[in-house]
A and B are shown apart, each in its own frame.
Chain A
Amino acid sequence: MKHWIAFWSIFLKDVRSYYLKPPNISWGIIFPLAWTGMFFIRAGRGLESIPDLLPGVMTIAILFGTTSVLAVTITFEKRQRSFDRLLLAPIPLDLLMLAKTSGAILFGIVSPFVPILIASFLADLSGVAWSLVIPAIFLISVVSTFLGLFIAVSVSQVFEAQTFSNFFRFPMIFLSGLFIPIAALPAFIRPLSYALPLTYGVDILHGAVHGGNIMPVALDFLVLGAFCVGLFMFSLKKVKSAIH
């Protein structure tokens, strides 16, 4: 019970202090809108292209919504040593890291509903397999958040966190099949696409929204789950080794 009081307090504090701040909310709305507009114009097609673009835009919303805040806030708390307070508390380290990341996961889950809401006014989404979309959104949020955590625990300065985040995020936009199909990429780059977690999340969404998945959905879920566990365990190990 005591652990859950701590867990809940960390979660609430982070949501209030970081995620419900106007800049973050606008980031979660404006950024996906900008990307939607950009690819819509670039596609040069009519409203019928929306289902093709939607999975990529949803994924971008999740990726940027989760990694932007988490990577910076943890690095900031490490710098000003308030993170030490959490390490001094009698909470298991894995529970502590889950508490620190659950705000970002929640924000990641909510973010893609902005483009979904907009798309619902412009296109027919009646054929969308929501039973796949919802778990996919959840897993993409978790994997993106843990990627943010991995970045946060790997750097010591806030500016490093921002640079390192972009080192992962921008290649993933172009290599994970968000807007450019993997089949359309040069053959020598494709193996890199399959090494990125978002590839599997976007594939589920493509399949669920317009039936355009390239891998079996079960495999997508399995690999995405494995990335979640792997990134979390690696981050945990980094935090433990930081207490040296």
Chain B
Amino acid sequence: MPSHKSAIIEVAGLTKRYGEVLAVDGISFDVSEGELFGFLGPNGAGKTTTINLLTGLARPDRGTIRIGGIDCTRNPKAGQHLVGTVPDESNLYPELTGYENLSFCAALYGVPKQRRQRRARELLDVFGLTAAADRKFETYSKGMKRKLTFAAGIIHEPPILFLDEPTTGIDVASARQVRQIVSDLHSQGITIFLTTHYIEEAERLCERIAFIVNGRIVRSERTADLLQPVQGKNVLRLFISDSVANLFQDMSTAFPRYEFQSASDGQLWVESADPINLAPLIRFLEERGIQVSEARRHLPSLEDVFVEVTGIEADLMKREREKSGGGGAGRQ
């Protein structure tokens, strides 16, 4: 893991309004050199707008942006040579081949001919697209398009990389490959700013995460620090035959070290700082006519922190993941 140096992305009071919609509401954050920083939030939270503001595709109404020490607030062109961008849509040229697309994108950054040819071949190989190098982009599958778009973002070897939902809409295998490449780039010392609505992806990849909801950063911390409060917890989910609403008092008396919570769909959540002893608990419930059909240990994750901090149900994020048809970062 590279040692972190000074801030390479500095954002202060960034605000952007589109008509009546306040897309980004006075956000401030720094990203250190070599850091992998994640922006986690649901669709419409302001993630893409933030990337557009940082890369020069949109102008802020208020606030300041410094990239690599250069003030890019009013002149985003000044910092664009330091930046590579992988947008949320695969927006390469349909009429060009995979190789031509990469070569053209490198040329946009002034990469000399021989170097861009070598680099294009190298990246086609890294992304497993060598066999499709001479096929037109329009003939690529969705996953191939996404991978080539990713390659186009790093063709000029930028020290800073903006990734906007890099695994959205692609199959699990491709998503896994993309995540591995993100990890590799990070270990090479590239600063990465990643937006995602996949909680597991953020947890797995990012060193530091900011939760963004309705254009505001509601929490920003190191991933380890975010997870720390929930990691010591033991959580059990019991699938039960009947409601236990009238038993809470008795349960709390019988098991004072446990916390109980019931869900409407026949589930009882049991939480404790100590290991949970299952047998007495099941016996207690069965003596009162409640059958326990299943007990599952729940491993606390960033999802629990996200739900607690933002108030947004993890189910909503999952539905968005399903809607976008992505491989996401499912449990592997």
Pair from one complex: yes
Contact A84 B105 (CB under 8 A): no
A residues within 8 A CB of B59? 243-244
CB-based nearest B residue for A17 = B95
A residues within 8 A CB of B55? 88
B residues within 8 A CB of A9? 104, 107-108
B residues within 8 A CB of A3? 110
Give complex CA distance A93, B93 in Å. 20
Q: A84-B91, A243-B59 are in contact. Are A13 and B96 (CB under 8 A)?
A: yes
Cβ < 8 Å to A, chain B residues 91-146? 91-96, 104-105, 107-112
Interface digits, A1-25 against B, CB 8 Å rule (1 contact, 0 not)? 1110110111001000100000000
In the complex, B234 has a CB within 8 A of chain A? no
Give complex CA distance A81, B105 in Å. 14
Contact B92 A82 (CB under 8 A): yes
Cβ < 8 Å to A, chain B residues 281-331? none
In the complex, B233 has a CB within 8 A of chain A? no
- Contact residue among B77, B95, B112 (Cβ-Cβ distance under 8 Å from A5): B112
A residues within 8 A CB of B77? 90-93
In the complex, A89 has a CB within 8 A of chain B? yes
Give complex CA distance A244, B83 in Å. 20
In the complex, A85 has a CB within 8 A of chain B? yes
Give complex CA distance A81, B149 in Å. 12
Interface digits, B63-92 against A, CB 8 Å rule (1 contact, 0 not)? 000000000000001001101010101011
In the complex, A80 has a CB within 8 A of chain B? yes
Interface digits, B144-178 against A, CB 8 Å rule (1 contact, 0 not)? 00000000100000000000000000000000000
- Contact residue among A1, A13, A82 (Cβ-Cβ distance under 8 Å from B110): A1
Give complex CA distance A244, B94 in Å. 27
Looking at the assembled complex, report how far the CB atom of B80 sits from the nearest CB atom of chain A, in whole angstroms: 4
Looking at the assembled complex, report how far the CB atom of B79 sits from the nearest CB atom of chain A, in whole angstroms: 8
CB-based nearest A residue for B111 = A5
Cβ < 8 Å to A, chain B residues 47-62? 55-59
- Contact residue among A5, A81, A93 (Cβ-Cβ distance under 8 Å from B107): A5
A residues within 8 A CB of B95? 17
CB-based nearest A residue for B80 = A90
Main secondary structure of the interface of B (DSSP, over half): loop
Cβ < 8 Å to B, chain A residues 78-102? 80-82, 84-93
Contact A6 B107 (CB under 8 A): yes
A residues within 8 A CB of B112? 5
Give complex CA distance A85, B92 in Å. 8
- Contact residue among B93, B105, B108 (Cβ-Cβ distance under 8 Å from A91): B108
CB-based nearest A residue for B112 = A5
Give complex CA distance A84, B105 in Å. 12
Interface contacts (Cβ under 8 Å), in number, total 66
B residues within 8 A CB of A91? 77, 108
Contact A88 B85 (CB under 8 A): yes
Looking at the assembled complex, report how far the CB atom of A94 sits from the nearest CB atom of chain B, in whole angstroms: 11
Looking at the assembled complex, report how far the CB atom of B81 sits from the nearest CB atom of chain A, in whole angstroms: 4
Contact A85 B56 (CB under 8 A): no
CB-based nearest B residue for A80 = B91
Contact B91 A81 (CB under 8 A): yes
Give complex CA distance A244, B53 in Å. 9
Q: A17-B95, A243-B57, A244-B59 are in contact. Are A85 and B107 (CB under 8 A)?
A: no
Contact A88 B56 (CB under 8 A): yes
Contact B57 A88 (CB under 8 A): yes
Give complex CA distance A243, B95 in Å. 26
A residues within 8 A CB of B85? 88
Contact A243 B80 (CB under 8 A): no
Looking at the assembled complex, report how far the CB atom of A242 sits from the nearest CB atom of chain B, in whole angstroms: 10
CB-based nearest A residue for B137 = A82
B residues within 8 A CB of A13? 93, 96, 104
A residues within 8 A CB of B80? 88-90
B residues within 8 A CB of A90? 77, 80-81, 109-110
Give complex CA distance A80, B107 in Å. 20
Give complex CA distance A85, B152 in Å. 10
B residues within 8 A CB of A82? 91-93
CB-based nearest B residue for A3 = B110
Contact B108 A84 (CB under 8 A): no
Looking at the assembled complex, report how far the CB atom of A15 sits from the nearest CB atom of chain B, in whole angstroms: 13
B residues within 8 A CB of A244? 58-59
Looking at the assembled complex, report how far the CB atom of B325 sits from the nearest CB atom of chain A, in whole angstroms: 19
Contact B96 A17 (CB under 8 A): yes
Looking at the assembled complex, report how far the CB atom of A92 sits from the nearest CB atom of chain B, in whole angstroms: 7
Can you show 10 pairs from A to B with CB atoms below 8 A apart? Answer: A2-B109, A5-B110, A6-B110, A17-B95, A81-B89, A84-B91, A85-B152, A90-B77, A92-B77, A243-B59
B residues engaging A (CB < 8 A)?
Answer: 55-59, 77, 80-81, 83, 85, 87, 89, 91-96, 104-105, 107-112, 152
Top 5 A-B pairs, shortest CB-CB distance = A2-B110, A9-B107, A89-B108, A90-B80, A81-B91
Given pairs A80-B91, A90-B80, 11 additional interface contacts (CB within 8 A): A2-B110, A82-B93, A84-B57, A85-B108, A88-B85, A89-B109, A90-B109, A92-B77, A93-B77, A243-B57, A244-B58
